[in-house]
Amino acid sequence: MKYWMIRTGRKGQREAYNLEQNVITIGWSWLGDISKIDNKEELRELQQQVDPEHPNKTSSGYTTKLWQFFDEMEIGDLIVMPSKVDHAKVYVGRIKSSYSYDHSTDPQFSHQREVKWLGYFERNDLTSEALNTFKSPHSVFQIHHKPFLEFLRAFVSSKHNPENKLDPDKLEHRLSQWLGYGDIDGEIWLLGMEEGGSTSFEEAKVRIDLPAVSNIREFHRRLHKETGMATRWFTENAILQSTYAPLIRILLCALGKCGYDQPVSSRKDKDQLRERIRDYQRDRFGKEDEGILVTELLPLSNQSVADWEYHRFTDRKDLQSRDTYEEIWKPKRLELLSKLYEEKQPSLVIAYGKSNWDEYTKILSEDENHYTREIIPGIARRVGPMVLIQHPVSKGIKNKTWEEIGHYIKEQFEISIF
């Protein structure tokens, strides 16, 4: 879980709207809807086209703030909003939706995300050291200051009803039997370390009630219905999800569906491939009978390896800390996935997250582990039928690199799921 400070304008002009409408908004209304932007560089180019008078340094700062709001903030992250109306108050909320652009409201409120406001604390509650966070001049920034983070974690914990506990049988099912989304008989597996997502009690309650394998769209519809949390990854005007999109880019090129024999170069080619990726994510990703299983090494969702909230939702000893959870459940999950792999014999496993490459290969047979080849040194490696790659959100990896990996798979593997 990440914590973000967002200010409401020099005069607090967005504060009342945010609280009344249960959203968080930012300025820069002159940019218009940015929901079709796919990367930070495209956003920078758009800003320079719309407002070329701003110096590059200022434009770069705008780009960073907007990109944080649009892409880096995640559902379940915490928002800290200092009040301009009552300077003593600081509001705290949890993000419930991905970015959206509201065409029906005043343009200054158009860039927004849905938020569940948890309440407020007063600045007098903070130590002088924690108060230093408020000295930052930035209107949008991620909070890293340890004294303030410790205060915020305690504040959020105080909002959880200790009587709210997860159903023990459903939790056990999630831990021991959950496999993911899509096609259990899929020819291709996408394997990550763990599912991203909020660590709120409400979301965890929905997740543990899922079957072993389900349709990812149905899960998100149910999550929205039961908790109000909403993404735009599977709606008509879908936003590309930062982990899914590079994986889909690899898949489309591997299956000969990106439309090109080499990594794309022209703007027209890039735009066409981007729309293919969007269409696939919206309509087919994580869906049954599509030939792909989206699975994870660990069964519980988390926003980051630094987060652990499950000790508040259960009295189980194996979930009282992340270290204990991984120590007990990682070997069990490897055994489960190894048995499933042996039974189903997928033609290709794309496993992402370099820190777990060694763990992923444990599901393969001993003979398969003998065949190793570097595809792109440090970024992609082949071990038997498994292609190990850096995490799709790793910084510095361009789209053409994912396309190169896809073309390698096309040349080396015989797969056909369409």
pLDDT band at 75 (very low <50, low <70, confident <90, very high): confident
Specify whether 270 is located in the same domain as 304: yes
> Is 163 a domain residue?
no
Give me the pLDDT at residue 260, please.
Answer: 55
Q: What average pLDDT does the chain have?
A: 89
Dist CA 155 CA 199 (whole Å): 15
In a domain, 263, yes or no: yes
Task: With CA atoms as reference, report the closest residue to 319 among 165, 211, 213, 193.
Answer: 165
Query: What is the model's pLDDT at position 49?
Result: 81
pLDDT of residue 263: 53
Q: Decide if 418 is inside a domain.
A: no
pLDDT of residue 40: 83
Q: Give how far Cα 178 sits from Cα of 100, 194, 209, 214, 349, Å.
A: 31, 12, 10, 9, 18
The owner of tokens 């409201």 is 105
Write down the pLDDT at residue 57.
46
Q: Which residues contact 247 (CB under 8 A, 6 or more apart)?
A: 190, 350, 352, 392
Question: Does the residue 142 lie in any domain?
Answer: yes
Average pLDDT for residues 58-62, to the nearest whole number? Answer: 65
Residue 364 placed within a domain:
yes
> The tokens of 27 are what?
């300025």
Provide, rounded to the nearest whole percent, the portion of the chain with pLDDT above 90: 58
Nearest to 72 by CA among 380, 354, 393: 393
Q: How confident is the model at residue 322 (pLDDT cuts 50, 70, 90)?
A: very high
The CB density around residue 175, as the number of other CB atoms within 10 Å, is: 20
Is there a single domain that holds both residue 91 and residue 181?
Answer: no
Place of tokens 């096309």: 410
Establish if 53 belongs to a structural domain.
yes
Average pLDDT over residues 322-346: 97
Average pLDDT over residues 340-344: 97
Same domain? For 180 and 219 the reply is yes
- Strand-pairing partners, residue 386, are 349, 383
Question: 375 with 266, same domain?
Answer: yes
| Domain tally, the chain | 2
Tokens of 76: 């379940």
- The residue from 100, 134, 158 where one domain ends is 158
Domain boundary among 158, 179, 203: 158
Q: Three-class SS string for the chain? A: CCEEEECCCCCCCCHHHHHHHCEEECCCHHHCCCCCCCCHHHHHHHHHHHCCCCCHHHHHHHHHHHHHHHHHCCCCCEEEEECCCCCCEEEEEEECECCEECCCCCHHHCEEEEEEEEEEEEHHHCCHHHHHHHHCCCCEEECCCHHHHHHHHHHHHHCCCCCCCCCHHHHHHHHHHCCEEECCCCCEEEEECCCCCCCCHHHHHHHCCCCCEECHHHHHHHHHHHHCCECCCCCCCCCCCCCHHHHHHHHHHHCCCCCCCCCCCCHHHHHHHHHHHHHHHHHCCCCCCCCEEEEECCCCCCCCCCCCCHHHCCCCHHHCCHHHHHHHHHHHHHHHHHHHHHHHCCCEEEEECHHHHHHHHHHCCHHHHCCEEEEECCCEEEECCEEEECCCCCCCCCHHHHHHHHHHHHHHCCCCCC
Same domain, 152 and 176: no
- Domain residues for 152? 3-158
Q: Do residues 209 and 150 both lie within one domain?
A: no
CATH number of the domain where residue 307 is located: 3.40.470
Token pair of 45 as six digits: 């180019």
What's the pLDDT band for 389 if we cut at 50, 70, 90?
very high
Summarised one tens digit per residue, pLDDT across range 250-288 is 999 998 887 655 555 567 777 888 899 999 999 999 999
- Place 46 in a pLDDT band, splitting at 50, 70 and 90: confident
- pLDDT at res. 245: 94
Closest residue by Cα to residue 8 from 61, 73, 83, 78: 83
CA–CA dist 389, 382 (Å, integer): 9
Clarify whether residues 139 and 176 are in a common domain. Answer: no
By DSSP bridging, strand 188-192 and strand 348-352 are parallel
pLDDT at site 261? 55
Indicate whether 116 and 200 sit together in one domain: no
CA-derived radius of gyration, the chain:
22
pLDDT digits (tens, 9 = 90+) for 141-192: 999 998 898 898 888 877 767 788 999 999 999 999 999 999 999 999 999 9
Q: Does 144 fall in a domain?
A: yes
CATH number, domain of 54, equals: 3.10.590
Structure confidence at residue 170 (pLDDT): 97
- Please write the tens of the pLDDT for every residue from 347-384: 999 999 999 999 999 999 988 888 899 999 999 999 99
CA 68 to chain centre: 13
| Residue finishing a domain among 125, 158, 191 | 158
- Whether the per-residue pLDDT at 413 is higher than 80: the answer is yes
Per-residue pLDDT, 32: 84
Same domain? For 191 and 84 the reply is no
d(CA 224, CA 230) in angstroms, rounded, equals: 5
Same domain, 137 and 244: no
Report the pLDDT value the prediction gives residue 305, as an integer from 0 to 100.
79
pLDDT at 37 over 70: yes
- CA distance linking residue 260 with residue 249, whole number of Å: 12
Same domain, yes or no: 243 and 346: yes
Q: Is residue 29 part of a domain?
A: yes
- The closest alpha carbon to 264, from 106, 65, 404, 73, belongs to 404
17: Cβ contacts below 8 Å, ≥ 6 apart = 23, 25, 106, 109
pLDDT-derived band at 107, boundaries 50, 70, 90:
confident
- Residue 418: pLDDT over 70: no
Band of pLDDT at residue 93, cut at 50, 70 and 90: very high
Please indicate, yes or no, whether residues 84 and 209 belong to a single structural domain of this protein.
no
